[in-house]
Structure 1
């Protein structure tokens, strides 16, 4: 798992592999700056530890000192113009860290803000908003933390964490003449008792064979609202499995999906399509 410390370390090395030639040639080593992290639009903050790491590591790289002051925690809601934190220290260090800190804060806060919007859209229902594995390679831990900051929940972490039988898996089974129920029961015998088993279906007539295997979660993929409601009814009548809905979920459709009674709504767009949030670092040179 790539932690904020490691991600920032690699980002700083990528951004200035041989130092910041502009600042080092232009700015006095002792110049001190004060910078404020300011919201240019409303949203929900995520990535605070990444920002802290950026400034802390940049201070070491520039042989200077930086203090991060009053940095708001992840999950903080803010309005346009709010000051979310300050940093004071050597100007070379502030400028070395600025773009890395903002890139990560803007990207992750965009995810948190989008998640909060989806969560609010289903308020009052029993549905949880969850993410998917559609994350940026290398940034999964940070992006999923941003989903949590926005009030959402995480799906399985990786292919190693849970069984999720999708349509391609089922197609292979059927092509080899294997019985779906028997195959799923065999999976249960092979994995630890703590491993969740989820199966994706895209038609109502697939439910009977899946439920007969006593799975933990049924994923109804790209169902119409009417079929979703019927799927929920069938699952509730036959098993204790949770019901997840997925496939093209938008803000315009998510409330209707939640009102069918599903337990989970997975939204790949949270981490795949969320726009960056507009945050700025307003810097003033003190000496």
Structure 2
């Protein structure tokens, strides 16, 4: 068997991004054949990713990518298990590669995105398995939104936890930045009332009626009170009706009209939103282990 040198281990680490001991073990197993060791590690990386697939990934990042002409763009949420890995530059680079793949490949869904080829020549899934093997956590491509527009696109990232993509027509680049930042801060549910989920509206109406009854309001007034409450709710949760965060004397609708512009649509992702996180009671685990 060929001697396993530090140079061979370093070469294998450079090719795979895996740890020193994993690389050395693979070289021993393949009797010093670097190419075979690399292939072995890539196989094991896939197995490692499969074993971790059941672990909850509720941390992570939202990243964006917009083409140079501002006509095509995307935001994507990529999840991992811990905030520590969520801040790792290798993980962030993987997320950025996936975002660009959404724009370039125009995948229909997450499965199609996984098969998309990135700038490196590897698929998104290849990169995912490699980064899992390197960082030791489950990672998932959760969701993405891709827009093509005749207008222009703007994105805003609040840290890496909130991401916004807005499609607008007219105005200037600063307007796009202001709109995206406002959406991240005010978190509207829809562009206008027509986009608000009917179930949400009905819930607001029902709650308003019950509160009015408890307050002793006459039966004849209940519907009027409920309608007033619903209209107030719609103003609060629809983008065009919200006061602009940088100047609450104007609404977003007034802001865009003042620049002869219009907002076509927007998407906002918040990392981990809607994912049920597993709560670990470490004290209980330690106590249980002490009794063994």
- On whether the aligned pair clears a TM of 0.5, the verdict is no
Taking structure 2 as the reference length, what is the TM-score of the superposition?
A: 0.25
Taking structure 1 as the reference length, what is the TM-score of the superposition?
A: 0.25
Higher helix share: 2
Higher normalized contact order (CA 8 Å, seq sep 6+, divided by chain length): 1
The structure number with the bigger radius of gyration is 2
